[in-house]
Amino acid sequence: MGLENNDSSDARIRSFSLRRMLMGDPLATSQIVHEKLTKVKALSVFSSDALSSVAYATEEILFVLIAAGSAALNLSIPIALAIATLLIIVGFSYFQTIHAYPKGGGAYIVASDNLGTVFALIAGAALLFSYILTVSVSISAGIAAITSWLPSLFPYRALLAVVGVAIVTVINQRGTSESASIFSVPTYIFILGILSLIFYGLIRWLFMGGLPTVEINEPMHTNVALQGVTLFLVLRAFSAGCTALTGIEAISDGVPAFRPPEAKNAGKTLLTMIAILIIMFLGITFLASQVGAVPNHAETVLSQIGRSLFGYGPLYVVVQIATALILILAANTAFADFPRLSYFMSRDGFLPRQMGNLGDRLVYSNGITLLGIAASILILFFKGDTHSLLPMYAVGVFISFTLSQMGMVRRWLRLRSGGWLRNAVINSIGSISTFAVFMVILITRFTQGAWIVVLLIPAIVLVLLRINRHYQQVAAQLSLERYGAPHRMRNPQVIMPISGVHRGVLKALEFARSLSPDVTAVYVETSATEGEEVRRKWSQWGDGVRLVCLPSPYRSILSPIIDYLQQLEAERQPDDIITVVLPQFVPSRWWGNLLHNQSAWMIRLALLFRRGYIVIDVPYHLTDSPNEETT
């Protein structure tokens, strides 16, 4: 019976060294203040998701309108203005949320405080899934830009996307401040590039006789027959363009990551992000209408605008590279907020406690790892196809928008603080608008994948409730309320399975006898010759302790031991404890474990869920040289 187990110290040291090389040196808890973000860094961390949406939001509007003919594309500007208005309403709502919930006030916290547990879990489930989709969509879209440039990589797009997820995951594991420093440069290059594009386009439009019409390399082909401009079409275009709103809730979720005063700095950062987002979104939509950009499977609308203004020169290349980078880095917003939301939900008992533990680098490393794994699975399942992922993307976002603003309305009505009526009206308009957008998205994209979210979110809520019920049951059974003094435990009956008689067994025997005078060694006899040898050695070294040899004609090791323990279990008193002492030798090299049986591990696993047993490992550490002292 190879009672040997455990990893060697060398393996642990090597593993720790690799981890430190990738993640960096551990940080003391006192250093957490240095991991707080300035407004400049926070803008790059929390806004990359929202700002990256301008790369495709206008294109989504045009893609819907083109079904009614090129003349309908002129509706893109009023639709964009309506979306910009909604951006202001939702942005101001989250500005109020930041100051109302300075310790972090995403949709989950607001709904929990004002709407109750069920609505909070719906918001939390929607946000968790949306963050996973943010990573999947953003990195897949970024890889799509790369494979458009290098078509030979197209067959490997899913694998490349998973590699991208792994890289972003490792960078975020190194800490909030360090990841912000790494991601700041591409974010600000993108902002500067898009604003320069818009500024140059406006200068040419105002003072240089207008803008050139873009030459379409490949005309848009649609499978949808031309139709008239209907209210439903306009609503579809509006809902498609509302992808520009994805990510604006990130700052309200991440308020604790800001430097003090957290709420004030977060509020300023949110307003700055909203202003930049509106300018870029309206500017791109306006330029698209002026240059005659048309949705094109071979070239994005943003690329068409850049090509018409800059040609294929360096500025065009900078804009394209920055766009590809911001799409990939948009995933960083999710990596900042998913772990923080997981912390809030684990604190409330709806996610495993491990999700609330700070890692070595003062980040919620378990949440970061879980997000990376979940996003990679989603990418592989959908083969890295962005278009397959997008229909699910906005559904969860607008569920959280609606519940957050409904919660704020309830808060104003409940507290009736200064300006409560004005604030309640603004939040009411916002909640009605976002709910209407949610319904339009759900109806128009139900068969394209939105149905998955409709089924998945309730399933996630049920899992969260089951986790919470487990924690409540554990707390109730561990509570000391109405609990009398425990019964005095008698000397336990100690059973010590052995595989033979050697130094490790004798050390374990010494320990077992220190627990109780009632000790029995158990040997599973698969060979009469070996059994006789064990009896002979035990009579010499066993110090009078009883030895029970269990016959095993079918050479099973585990079953005879479990059967023997069950016999003892039937004879014991209800409160009696059987202590199983497992002697095991530990090889000095990690690979040494592969050369021995894992009987101790199997016995431990078999007894894990049985009441009335205590299992104790007694390790005996081996060395490289037989002449060295062992312990």
d(CA 392, CA 449): 6
Q: Which residue's structure tokens are 């579809």?
A: 236
Q: For every residue of 202-253, which 3-state class applies, written as one string?
A: HHHHHHCCCCCCCCCCCCCCCCCCCCCCCHHHHHHHHHHHHHHHCCCCHHHH
Q: What does the block give as tokens for 572? A: 């014991």
Residue 383: the pLDDT is 84
On whether both 127 and 243 belong to a single domain, the answer is: yes
On whether both 220 and 115 belong to a single domain, the answer is: yes
Q: Which helix (H) or strand (E) holds 613?
A: strand 613-621
In what helix (H) or strand (E) does residue 521 lie, and over which residues does it extend? strand 519-525
374 in a structural domain: yes
Same domain for 444 and 567, yes or no, is no
DSSP SS3 for 294: coil
Largest pairwise CA distance in the chain: 107
186 within a domain of the structure (yes/no): yes
The answer to whether 448 and 391 are in contact (CB under 8 A) is yes
Indicate the angle between helix axes 117-149 and 365-381, nearest 10 degrees: 60
Question: For position 67, which CATH number holds?
Answer: 1.20.1740.10
Q: Are residues 315 and 439 in the same domain?
A: yes
Q: What is the pLDDT of residue 8?
A: 44
Question: Under a CB-based contact definition with an 8 Å cutoff, are residues 67 and 295 in contact?
Answer: no
In a domain, 486, yes or no: no
Instruction: Sheet with 613-621: list strands edge to edge.
Output: 546-551, 519-525, 493-498, 578-586, 613-621
Q: Taking the CA of residue 596 as centre, how many other CA atoms within 13 Å lie in the half-sphere pointing to its CB?
A: 23
In a domain, 454, yes or no: yes
Cβ pair 44, 184 in contact under 8 A: yes
Find, among 247, 387, 287, the residue nearest to 303 by Cα. Answer: 287
**Are 379 and 132 a contacting pair, CB within 8 Å?**
no
* 12 found inside a domain: no
Whether the CB-CB separation of 586 and 8 falls below 8 Å is answered with: yes
Closest Cα to residue 508, out of 420, 620, 393? Answer: 620
Q: Is residue 476 part of a domain?
A: no
Same structural domain, 467 and 387? yes
Q: To which residue do tokens 């939509």 refer?
A: 285
Q: Which of the listed residues 441, 471, 501 is the one where a domain comes to its end?
A: 471
User: Nearest-CA neighbor of 236 among 346, 356, 467, 72?
Assistant: 72
Domain that residue 501 falls in? 493-621
Asked if residue 281 lies in contact with residue 61, where contact means CB atoms within 8 angstroms, the answer is no
Peptide bond before residue 352 is cis, with ω within 30 degrees of 0:
no
Dihedral sign computed on CA atoms, order 549, 553, 558, 559 = negative
Looking at the structure, tell me whether residues 448 and 573 fall in a common domain: no
- State the pairing for strand pair 519-525/546-551: parallel
In 3D space, the residue among 140, 187, 190, 148 whose CA is nearest the CA of residue 165 turns out to be: 140
Question: Scanning the structure block, which residue is given the tokens 């455990």?
Answer: 6
Token representation of residue 99: 């100051």
Please indicate, yes or no, if residue 248 is contained in any of the structural domains.
yes
How many CB atoms are closer than 10 A to CB 537? 15
- Contacts (Cβ under 8 Å, ≥6 apart) of 92: 426
Q: Specify the pLDDT at position 227.
A: 55
Give 556: exposed, middle or buried? Use CB within 10 Å, 0-12, 13-18, 19+: middle
Q: Are residues 400 and 525 in the same domain?
A: no
- What does pLDDT average to in each consecutive run of 10 residues of the chain (631 residues)? 47 50 50 65 84 86 83 89 91 86 82 94 93 89 74 86 90 67 80 92 86 67 55 84 85 84 91 95 94 77 86 83 81 84 91 80 81 94 79 84 92 88 86 87 82 92 96 89 73 91 93 93 90 92 93 87 90 83 84 73 88 90 68 59
DSSP E strands, 328-368:
none
327-341 in b/e burial notation, b at 16+ Cβ within 10 A?
A: bbbbbbbbbbbbbbb
- The encoded tokens of residue 407 equal 């919660």
CA angle in degrees (0–180, nearest 5) for 34-38-41: 110
Kindly write down the DSSP assignment for every residue of 241-284, as one continuous string: HGGGGTTTTHHHHTGGGBPSSHHHHHHHHHHHHHHHHHHHHHHH
Q: What is the CATH number of the domain that holds 498?
A: 3.40.50.620
DSSP symbols for 68-119: G-GGGGGGHHHHHHHHHHHHHHHHHHHHHHHHH-TT---HHHHHHHHT-HHH
Residue 368 lies in a domain: yes
- Please choose, from the candidates 332, 21, 288, the residue with its C-alpha nearest in 3D space to the C-alpha of residue 182: 332
Give the span between the Cα atoms of 391 and 456, in whole angstroms: 14
**At which of 409, 439, 471 does a domain end?**
471
State the DSSP string of 410-453: HHHHHH--TTHHHHHHHHHHHHHHHHHHHHHHHHHTIIIIIHHH
How many domains does the chain fold into?
A: 2
571, two tokens? 């004879």
Q: Based on the domain organization, do 467 and 536 belong to the same domain? A: no
Tell me how far the alpha carbon of residue 554 is from its chain's centroid.
48
Cα–Cα distance for residue pair 229/140, rounded to 1 Å:
33
Among 471, 502, 518, identify where a domain stops: 471
Whether residue 271 sits in one domain with residue 136? yes
Task: Compute the distance between CA of residue 595 and CA of residue 615 in angstroms, rounded to an integer.
Answer: 24
| Same-domain check for residues 360 and 499 | no
Three-state SS at 171 = helix
**C-alpha to C-alpha distance for 57 and 287, rounded to whole angstroms:** 14
- Tokens 């989950």 locate to 108
For residues 286 and 382, membership in a common domain is answered with yes
Whether residues 464 and 498 share a domain: the answer is no
